[in-house]
Amino acid sequence: MITLVNHSGFLNNEILTNKLIDSLTIIYNSNYKREKYNNEFWISFTDLLSKKLMELNNNIMIYQKNKNKNPKYIILNKSIQLWFKICIKHNIRLSLSFSKVEHNVYCYSKQIKQIKNFIRFLYAPRCLDYNNLFINEDYSRFLIMHTINN
């Protein structure tokens, strides 16, 4: 069990680098063709990214001290802000579950002033299609199909 926890911490430390911010910045600043990267792709991409960022957020909250001075925490917050900008750019509909609210809040990302971090959320923000449904829980199948088709 300790090995698994240490390995998970190692992987999270490998992810939280400036390369993540650079990659998300490139994704945000690029204009991808809608034929190749449709709205379904962006909903799935931002949903996957949200889940991973929340996992990293929880890892830092549980195992790290001095969060505001921690370079990994600073990178995480910048990554969350870039994730949110990508959501706004593609007008992603979000399902937000706040820790002090009993039900989920559904809204378009453009309706939210900003999301700087995930501290107020009980669960990772979920990205929805226009019918308030999660596109696909089997992300591996979606990503493989998208890669093969393009």
Residue ranges of domains in the chain: 2-149
Q: Is 59 exposed, middle or buried (0-12, 13-18, 19+ CB in 10 A)?
A: buried
The whole-number pLDDT of residue 78 equals: 96
Ramachandran angles phi, psi of 116, nearest 5°: -95, -30
- The percentage of the chain sitting over the pLDDT mark of 70, rounded to a whole number, equals 77
- DSSP character string of 104-125: -EEEEGGGSS----STTBSSPP
Of 39, 29, 49, 33, the C-alpha closest to 91 is 39
Instruction: Going residue by residue through the chain, which has 150 residues, state the pLDDT in tens, using 9 for 90 and above.
Output: 333 344 344 455 678 889 999 999 999 999 988 888 888 889 989 999 999 999 999 888 888 766 778 888 999 999 999 999 999 999 999 989 888 877 788 889 999 999 999 988 988 999 988 766 666 555 544 444 444 454
Tell me, what's the pLDDT at 63?
A: 80
Assign 41 to helix, strand or coil. helix
Helix (H) or strand (E) holding 63: helix 39-63
